[in-house]
Structure 1
């Protein structure tokens, strides 16, 4: 080959290793993508296997950090000058937009992982200029290093900003652990362009309740609603309807929503004093010379007042760097008219405002500017659900401050889980119902006596294992909710969930309650221990004498400790581990299985071994035999994998998502199976795991791996075991 020919060839591999390349799996777009199960593989983590942030942060000099953070608020930098010399508004927006991605449907989003550092969130249109806020924090991160995560620092900045501007916050907890690569597999919407019309994620845009589940924001690239109105068309009542639904999907009621809106807009400003089209590309699309910054403004001129982000321009209050009642004073003290910002955005401005009520220019204190309101702000005044709340706040400013303090704390801590996970001197001691409080459980009882009573109870292996599984499977690592601790499976609404087989559940719980009373154990412990007993019985029947590890100490939550309505989103609509679908969905059953497994924190091998074991234990919902590929049900064998991979069998559709497993020679139907079962033989990666467990020399490995994965599920919510468990 000539030098000319050689030089014309690119010396690197194209494809999955480049941003412009094509992933090799794009040839098969219908193939099940397992990436979400290994979303945060330790290979991406530069800190190493032994690093434990939740231990490191306890060594932090909290007082010194607090002083440095307060100093940063007014240390205006020439490369990105602060509005009125105070970065409070910018940092609050950064914290808010990190925490505000949380949604109750699946618990994903939120500020608990520092994901705002990565695409797509780092480059959402609604997050314009927040890259600057994070760069302003870099000297703090550099100084305190491994003892403060980006996730904690991003949220802390907003909390300190409020305190710096005169507001007493409810408190703050450290303990958020950083991730190290984009969460590419979180579903943020199907749109292919930023800020596509919101109609695309509604069945009927006039009815906000029809927004696609699990989404909460109204358009791709927004945190909440469009500040200019529904699809950019001003209508405060319609916008108010969207605000109500969106905030409800983020765990806020009407009062909390009004408090957050008013408290959030009491300080800071919107930025739209210029040509939005002149801005450079977002961070992820910028050139290497931009060093990860985006939205370059060629017209900034070193002045804070020249910034462009949302396109709306102006402050909401007379004193934007001081927390006061100014938001209500202006909103309700003046009439407002719809106008255009310098960037061409819809915004509301007051009619005949007094000169002294105008805020001064963000860069030049000799100039006063009109305040502004967005469509969402006007909804606080005009919408029938919000106006009475705001009037109550105006009549009692201390009540407003208390409501806002609690709502802000909830916003920035909602995805951290129970109070037992809180770290630091400012973590409040009050139990809040949205934290799903659980009393401490007893460890002062005989586990062996409890095991014996359960074993003699007459309950079947399937009943014991299914009840333990149903209690624990609600756990969501996304927001640390659910799980077996608390035994909330015996309370509304869980005791009536179809997936929990209410009649079977009631029968088992009646037995367990007597055993708990006799032994002094919590019902939560007895439920989990019952699953262990069932597995041990099944293992012994298969020739494996094992003892499933069990750690006591779970507590029993009461009805008073349980916000029943908030648990509705945790109801399973499918459980592939028990081969159950509540109904047919547009999404394939195996996709639903992946989603559940990821929320539970399972890897693909763990998911695989649990499926194979659960099929053998008689845990299928309703007692169906689909996927029970054995003649030894009730014995913990690897028969599921052996028979799934046996080429003496043929697989044929039988209708309604069911398949028949037939003997190739006789054509006799041996078993039936669902798509969930068959995917472990058809998917190349999952089949590779199935083959491991089908090997003649790996039956003991199968049992041991099943027990390990089972214990991981049962203990996922045992935050009291940190760092032992986590």
Structure 2
């Protein structure tokens, strides 16, 4: 039978899996091929709102008062298909908001609630997020009512905030402005664990030391937001769990006080559900008849006390729908012992508890249950640092309420970036250090005069372009941190980063700061303008008169406005655009280039144009000549692509990730290169882009595309003018 023949019966004539599963597509046959899918996250083709939709503008039309009234009413509008515990959905909505925000990790800024990613795999089907599909369905009538003026991302976080308010907490505020994504975030590495809830040793080198957990991961297991509530690897040990709690929350940008406040405040309301361990598959694996819901529970009898989520069963406080100090009253008021829940999960219960301190059943208040604590809760009592903090909270409930409200605000807003991204009447007036505040910059100065002074300063094209690039390249679209605005490249820790070439940087900044002082411009603006001047000079040398677009108004941050320790995570360990790596890493230089590109919000064609341009401009770190495929360095030309694709040249490996480009006939070495250079000739997709720019009719196109990509990087953090 011919390979193209289809049997007459018994076989489906449709490709199974190949159109939907990357693992079954051709790319998996060649595992060494550089996979560019990470850059597809910036594609807009899958966005149903269209290119003209601007959520930042749309959300400002929102009737916030009406929305909050509707959400408050929802909290006590119990539905038969998923009834509320004690007639109040507050605990469920808080958990939804918390787990949406709790996937954030500071290492690369990815995760968090800012995109509504909990609607998609894998987060929508993580074991830790069981039953949160029900919370989103409860919110659907409100989302439907307010439509495009209210994103899912904003609604999910707001639901938790309103829940706390409805139970008596004075919250710190709320900022709208989280735009939704429309598919899974394929750029996030959630870990290489072989299964969900695999033991910690799959992501921790030494299980006794959580600091050995692989960066940038924060959660102790695949499928959990934080730590295993039953204990490390399911073994109760509050002292060891305390170490994991500290590491996990630190990697989410929380200090010990914030961590303790979040633990106490998060468990002051709501409950755990462990009716039956026999539940169906998660939403992504559920039958089509489940209509997108998951975790079907055969034992569920449409009552709150027959629901199943984690397997743990019980509430932490006597009044689980009220913000009070009951959590600490019970934690410190009793001794606790480890027991199994009715579903077989390890949990802690009090010894000889008074009847009045027991918890009413979530469905039948005439029935009373013991309160419970997880291993992480017991860590607050066992760990000496957490205990001291919690004892202060216990003595001063107002202190707890204020600390928790601020920590909750940080948890749910940390990935939104500067306050310029916040909208609505409840945005706090106070500037917080973790928001990376930047003062407004001057706009009334003479831009042309500044550019003239820069041009006459004696700085080289390489000096100007590299400095501007280093200032801007720290931007992370993941959590909107970094970038050129603020000119933090002149402050600690950035001024001392090896990737910024401190000696060269100090020399260039000395010139640019003088120009800023003379002209009334901010240093941040002058740094970017200097890069623009360098690009314009290089384009002119190549025969093209261009003016790089520029918008003034960047401000200059101060040391007092900069949380230097939190900026450590922004330090580049590699920059393929400047052909530099700080050290050898487990992943290839090309993969690190893709990661940096995705964080900056660039596409593959923009990456291609920028790398080719940066090479011929001579901006390599330390002045190396790798990839500088031109004899007119400092001229913005398409020479990089022309010589890369010229079959008169051959590529010869000379070491790890190092090559020589030699003349095929004579064997003469013409240039040296790294794997980051040659990937634009070896990868079929990147070569296709390189060939476009190598064409004889693409010289002008290349210059225009380089400038457009350059401006995108320089303006990536200009939320004030977006």
Q: TM-score range by the shorter chain?
A: over 0.9
Q: Pairwise mapping of residues 344-363 of structure 1 onto structure 2 (< 5 A)?
A: 344-363=344-363
The match for 2:257 is 255
The match for 1:330 is 330
The match for 1:172 is 174
Structure 2 unaligned regions, length at least 5: none
Classify the secondary structure of the residue corresponding to 1:720: coil
- Maintained 8 Å contact 1:478/1:599: yes
Tell me the distance in 1 between the aligned counterparts of 2:169 and 2:184.
34
Does 2:58 match 1:56?
A: yes
Aligned CA RMSD, in angstroms, stands at 1.2
- 1:101 corresponds to which of 103, 106, 111: 103
Tell me the distance in 2 between the aligned counterparts of 1:655 and 1:604.
27
514-523 or 538-547: which moved more?
538-547
- Maintained 8 Å contact 1:73/1:86: yes
Tell me the distance in 2 between the aligned counterparts of 1:669 and 1:20.
41
Tell me the distance in 2 between the aligned counterparts of 1:231 and 1:182.
28
The match for 2:694 is 694
Classify the secondary structure of the residue corresponding to 1:152: helix
- Maintained 8 Å contact 2:319/2:326: yes
Where has structure 1 moved over 4 Å in runs of 4 or more?
A: none
Classify the secondary structure of the residue corresponding to 1:596: helix
Q: Pairwise mapping of residues 145-224 of structure 1 onto structure 2 (< 5 A)?
A: 145-224=147-226
Q: Pairwise mapping of residues 561-576 of structure 1 onto structure 2 (< 5 A)?
A: 561-576=561-576
Pairwise CA distance, 1:185:
3.1
- Which string of whole-angstrom CA distances, capped at 9 and with x for unpartnered residues, describes residues 39-67 of structure 1? 14222111112111111111111111111
Equivalent residue pairs, number: 719
Pairwise CA distance, 1:444:
1.0
Q: Pairwise mapping of residues 28-177 of structure 1 onto structure 2 (< 5 A)?
A: 28-177=30-179
Q: Pairwise mapping of residues 308-707 of structure 1 onto structure 2 (< 5 A)?
A: 308-707=308-707
Tell me the distance in 1 between the aligned counterparts of 2:419 and 2:31.
42
- Which string of whole-angstrom CA distances, capped at 9 and with x for unpartnered residues, describes residues 462-521 of structure 1? 010000000000000000000000000000000000000000000011111110000000
The two structures have a TM-score, normalised by structure 1, of 0.98
- Maintained 8 Å contact 2:442/2:522: yes
The match for 1:720 is 720
Tell me the distance in 1 between the aligned counterparts of 2:207 and 2:595.
27
- Which string of whole-angstrom CA distances, capped at 9 and with x for unpartnered residues, describes residues 52-106 of structure 1? 1111111111111111000000000000000000000000000000000000000
- 1:230 corresponds to which of 208, 229, 232: 232
Classify the secondary structure of the residue corresponding to 1:385: helix
- Maintained 8 Å contact 1:159/1:169: yes
Pairwise CA distance, 1:5:
4.2
Tell me the distance in 2 between the aligned counterparts of 1:531 and 1:237.
53
Q: 1:4 to 1:477 in 2, by over 3 A?
A: closer
Q: 1:535 to 1:295 in 2, by over 3 A?
A: same
Pairwise CA distance, 1:14:
3.2
Tell me the distance in 1 between the aligned counterparts of 2:683 and 2:198.
35
Structure 1 unaligned regions, length at least 5: none
- Maintained 8 Å contact 1:350/1:371: yes
Tell me the distance in 2 between the aligned counterparts of 1:565 and 1:270.
36
- Maintained 8 Å contact 1:445/1:520: yes
Tell me the distance in 1 between the aligned counterparts of 2:43 and 2:527.
32
Pairwise CA distance, 1:586:
1.0
Pairwise CA distance, 1:7:
4.2
Q: Pairwise mapping of residues 284-323 of structure 1 onto structure 2 (< 5 A)?
A: 284-323=284-323
- Maintained 8 Å contact 1:14/1:21: no
Classify the secondary structure of the residue corresponding to 2:348: strand
Classify the secondary structure of the residue corresponding to 1:660: strand
Tell me the distance in 2 between the aligned counterparts of 1:533 and 1:20.
44
Pairwise CA distance, 1:19:
4.7
- Maintained 8 Å contact 2:350/2:370: yes
39-48 or 606-615: which moved more?
39-48
- Which string of whole-angstrom CA distances, capped at 9 and with x for unpartnered residues, describes residues 7-64 of structure 1? 4442323343145971121111111111111114222111112111111111111111
Pairwise CA distance, 1:184:
2.6
Tell me the distance in 2 between the aligned counterparts of 1:657 and 1:124.
38
- Maintained 8 Å contact 1:40/1:181: no
- Which string of whole-angstrom CA distances, capped at 9 and with x for unpartnered residues, describes residues 627-651 of structure 1? 0001010100100000000000000
Classify the secondary structure of the residue corresponding to 2:360: coil
- Maintained 8 Å contact 2:22/2:28: no
Tell me the distance in 2 between the aligned counterparts of 1:703 and 1:43.
26
